[in-house]
Amino acid sequence: MPASINSGKGEARLKRWQFWLGILISAFFLWQVIPEFELDRVWETLQEARYWWLLPGVGAYFVGVWARAWRWHYLLRPIKKIQTREMFPIVAIGYMGNNIYPARAGEVLRAYVLRQRYQIPISASLATIFIERAFDGVVMLGFVFFTLPRLVTLTGGSGFVGSIQNLAVIGAAVFLGAVLVFVLMAVFPGRSADLLNWIGERLVPQKFRSSYQVICDRFLDGLSSLRSPKDILMVLLTSIVIWLFETWKYWFVMHAFPFTVSFFALMLMNGIVNLATTIPSAPGYVGTFDATGIAVLEAFGVQSSIAAGYTIVLHAALWLPITLLGAFYMARESISWQNVQQELREDDET
């Protein structure tokens, strides 16, 4: 049997395994919270919500998405200058992909669209996407550390606070470590290339080394936006702005429900739920987003049925508009995920 057929079957099995693992993890998170509240009271909360507050919330969210498009344009400047308005549809396509396909496939999808439109190598654009995610993680952890002392005064020495602290410490090590590695690779491209070549000579089979070398070179090109302190600061500040706009969406949606917590409490919720969504789950972050969001609000004294109703509506308001917009842009590009997978598979084989 040809090796390509074997590899295709192995890839399909791996994807099925990832999909079902995500389903199980989502089910586990939902099982943790559903027994804690009465579904009829949650339904009553949903019926009484003032949904017009979602409109300014969605508006604030899309300002944040535009800021994401600007940040990506800024990171790509050393490779190719592309206007923010041209980046926005690609960012929307990526968010749509993350929301409906497993394993954050939207990141690969937007790198693919960028290559199709502007001939930017996928490995180079993926490097900028990794930078985005690392800085996002740093900002999310900043939100958590900034607001955690307030949560401690409310819940004392509860296991919930301890779990958040442990998550924050582990996450800080991971994301700050990633940022440091990317910065060092950007500042010392020659030494980084030598190290990657050394790794390739020892771990990569001979027939794949030329492709490996090309990918590494393009990846290092993608990190070139981090070669000055000014650029690092600009990316960090933009990341803070992005997540503040998303927190404002949380704040607007809160007004649709009969509870009030501080903006800082919503910053903490935003940080924790987004860190939780890095855990493998069903498409759309079902369960991981909802369970952690409800838990944070309950820690701040919000009634469980109200916390559940708010989190469900917030999740839907975060998921639906950008998914519909991304699907529209993807249809306009005449792209299907199946064709993208097939083309990327053919690229790997060549």
Report pLDDT for 161. Answer: 52
The pLDDT mean for the chain works out to 85
Q: Where are the alpha helices (DSSP H) in 105-226?
A: 105-118, 122-155, 159-187, 189-203, 209-222
What is the C-alpha to C-alpha distance for residues 53 and 45, in angstroms, rounded to an integer? Answer: 15
Q: How far is CA 77 from CA 83, 120, 124, 125, 229, in A?
A: 10, 11, 12, 11, 16
Cα dist from 163 to 20, 167, 177, 328, whole Å: 26, 6, 21, 40
pTM: 0.85
Cβ-proximal residues to 84 (8 Å cutoff; 6+ apart), any chain: 66, 69, 70, 73
pLDDT in tens, 24-57: 887 887 777 776 667 889 999 999 999 999 999 9
At 199-221, the pLDDT tens digits run: 988 888 887 788 788 888 888 88
What's residue 286's pLDDT? 87
d(CA 342, CA 13): 16
pLDDT digits over 301-340, tens only? 899 899 999 999 999 999 999 999 999 999 998 888 888 8
Q: Is pLDDT at 11 greater than 70 in this prediction?
A: no
pLDDT tens digits, one per residue of 117-154: 999 999 999 999 999 999 998 898 888 888 777 766 66
Whole-number CA gyration radius for the chain: 21
Closest among 270, 308, 317 to 29, alpha carbons compared: 308
> CA-CA distance, 205 to 331, in Å (whole number)?
39
